[in-house]
Structure 1
Amino acid sequence: MDFIKGFTFKLNPSKTQKFAGEETKESLKTLVDTTGCDTIILAFIALQDTPQSEEIDYIGEHIPTDEELISVIDYARKLGLKIILKPMLNCRDGVWRAHINFFDVEVPCEPKWSKWFANYEKYILKYAEIAERTHCEMFMVGCELVQTERKEEYWRNLVQRVRNVYNGLVTYNTDKYQENQVKWWDCLDVISSSGYYPQTRWEENLDRIEKVVKQYNKPFFFAECGCMCVKGCQEVPNDWTFEGELDLKVQADYFKAMFETVREREWVEGYGIWDWSSNFREDLPEQRGYSVYDKPSAKVIKEFYQTL
């Protein structure tokens, strides 16, 4: 696996377009010029109503059509980008996806793991087929579905079915602090996680993750990482609700510290920084968030990627 100089490019509809069009092209081109990335993690989001819902909605205005998705992939290729396809899942009620959960022993009249995984499999296989058709370099079978990860047999079956339709590298994006909890890394090609670690605690977490990487002897990269521009957020970079004073330097310093520390670990083979929206101009008023557009951190990222 080549080192991933990556950025998450999240497909969001805007006021003037859906998911593909000139605005999306401008956003993607600006991302490449601004950060020097060579890979995009192309993300889009299906929905289920609550963490205990069995049905998964991946058809409608909240998600790109197949034609829109393929159009974005084709344009990314013209820019010389590698592509990791990342179908994600959120809950409409706002509860974080990590809390999707059901009884381990199925109970009549209660939501069931078997039904949820059957529906999730349909969602994932649809996009695995598109990943194969468009020659994406990597495919993610899931992201931060923490409570589901203990259902090992279901995940192993899903990964095998993905391999039946997709021939590229397959990974799963576990959440921060969960790298040593997943028991089925052996059936994947790459280990990946969300690296939202406190600025002062990178070393101890890298030590822990390194044991997992050595145990399974797989490539590893941070599929997500980042920090908001809020004073104090560098110690809780995963908290998107963190309140405080706007401070653009916090984000830039966080990336500097992360790159300086992590680059000493040769087994870390890349990043998928979070995130850049396809309708990035609508995000401009929100300076406190994870976006790096027109912020000092963009220069930090580009300079680091240019050294690799």
Structure 2
Amino acid sequence: MEFIKGFTFAPFARKGSYLKKKTYESLDNLKERVGINFIILVPNGLQDTPQSEEICYISNSTVSDEELEDIINYAKDIGLRIAIKPTVNCKNGTWRAYINFFDEDVHCEPKWSKWFASYTDFQIHYATIAQKTGCEMFIAGCEMVMSERRENEWRKLISDIRNVYKGIVSYNTDKYQEHNVKWWDCIDVISSSGYYPISDWEKELNRIEKVVKKYNKPFFFAEAGCMSTKGSSEVPNDWSLEGNIDLNEQAEWYKTMFESSIKREWVSGFAMWDWAGSQYLLSRAKNDKGYDVYGKPAEKIIKKYYDMVVKE
């Protein structure tokens, strides 16, 4: 697998977002400024609560199929490879990792069977688009931690995806969960969210390496990132952290991640979180405390290492 020098681009975009000229300009900026060869697009599926059985992906909260196809075709025209990662979220704000149901069906209670039927419909819809547009990878969801124990359902889902999509199939588990997924053998590429504290990278990579060697699969970080907020390098997954702006701390986190990871031959790339479809003015970069790296020291760090890596 060609080394992934990637970014998640404009995730969870609302309908109409990919029709805007500035979105295409942002994608051009990303390729030019960071030197990427790969993007992940993240269509948004919504359910009301973690115990809701129905997932909606046709509301104004999700880009239309037509605009998704158009931006895929444009990305391919400018030399990028593309993955689609349909990702479900809860309208009430609960993180998707907590979507959960009783392991045994109970009358009058929500059920895994109905949820997986809706989730499968959601995934197959976008797997069909991935096949139609020639996307190089399909990622069957993200950080669905409580559901991952439902091995039979996940195996069936991956099989159903392969019936309509003939490219590389992956799944993006959450940080610290790589060793808990028991069905890695049925996918092509293991991927996870690399939000590890700056002081823990070597330890966590040692743990992940055992999983990669056990299943003998390629691996990449389908998400990785750190806010430019003081203290974020120790809790990079905490998007709610309050603190002062610290652009250098964000840059140091990225430097540590790269220096720890690229010496591991089994790490086949990264897709950083994230690059916005609508960017702030460069003059405002020094005042932004979020995950964005546009115009920040971290952007130069990422480009430096992406330019350096020539793994195939």
Q: TM-score interval w.r.t. the shorter chain? A: over 0.9
Residue 280 of structure 1 and its aligned partner are, at CA, apart by: 2.5
Structural mapping, 1:105-144, within 5 Å: 105-144=104-143
Match of 2:251 in 1: 252
Identity among equivalent pairs (%): 56
Tell me the amino acid that sits aligned with residue 188 of structure 1. Answer: I
- Aligned partner of 2:165 in structure 1 is 166
Matched residue, 1:7: 7
How far did residue 282 of structure 1 move? 8.5
Match of 2:231 in 1: 232
Shift of 1:44: 2.3
Distance 1:266 1:43 in 2: 28
Between the aligned partners of 1:282 and 1:109, the Cα distance in structure 2 is 52
| CA–CA distance in structure 1, aligned partners of residues 214 and 173 of structure 2 | 17
Distance in 2, matches of 1:190 and 1:210, equals 14
- For these two proteins, the number of residue pairs brought into alignment is 307
Distance in 1 (alpha carbons) for counterparts of 2:70 and 2:20 = 9
Superposed CA RMSD in Å reads: 1.6
Q: Structure 1: which 5+ residue stretches go unaligned? A: none
Aligned positions of 1:83-94 closer than 5 A: 83-94=82-93
> Shift of the alpha carbon at 1:35?
1.0
1:128-152 CA-to-partner distances (Å, cap 9, x unmatched) read 0000001100000110000000000
Q: Which moved more, 1:156-165 or 1:278-287?
A: 278-287
For residues 32-58 of structure 1, give each alpha carbon's deviation from its aligned partner in whole angstroms, at most 9, with x where no partner exists.
Answer: 112111100111211100000001010
Structure 2: 5+ residue runs without aligned partners?
Answer: none
**What does the per-residue CA deviation read over 1:200-233, in whole Å, with 9 as the maximum and x for residues that have no partner?**
0111101100000000000000000010011111
Q: How does 1:1-308 map to 2 (within 5 A)?
A: 1-11=1-11, 13=13, 17-281=16-280, 287-308=288-309
Aligned partners of 2:18, 2:112: CA distance in 1, in Å? 32
TM normalised by structure 1 equals 0.97
Task: Determine the C-alpha separation between the residues in 1 that align with 2:280 and 2:72.
Answer: 21
Structure 1 ranges of 4+ moved more than 6 A: none
SS in structure 2 opposite 1:123? helix
Moved more, 275-284 or 104-113: 275-284
Q: 1:77: Cα distance to partner? A: 1.0
Aligned 8 A contact 1:12 1:19 in 2: no
- In 2, distance between residues paired with 1:106 and 1:179? 28
Quick one: structure 1 residues 114 and 132, their matched pair in 2 at CA, closer, same or farther if it must change by over 3 Å?
Answer: same
Q: AA paired with 1:221?
A: F
CA distance in 2, matches of 1:13, 1:117: 24
Could you tell which deviates more after superposition, 19-28 or 188-197? 19-28
CA displacement at 1:281 relative to structure 2: 3.3
How far did residue 11 of structure 1 move? 4.2
Kept in 1, the 8 Å contact 2:171–2:191? The answer is: yes
Mapped to 2, the partners of 1:244 and 1:281 lie a distance apart of 20
SS in structure 2 at match of 1:141 = strand
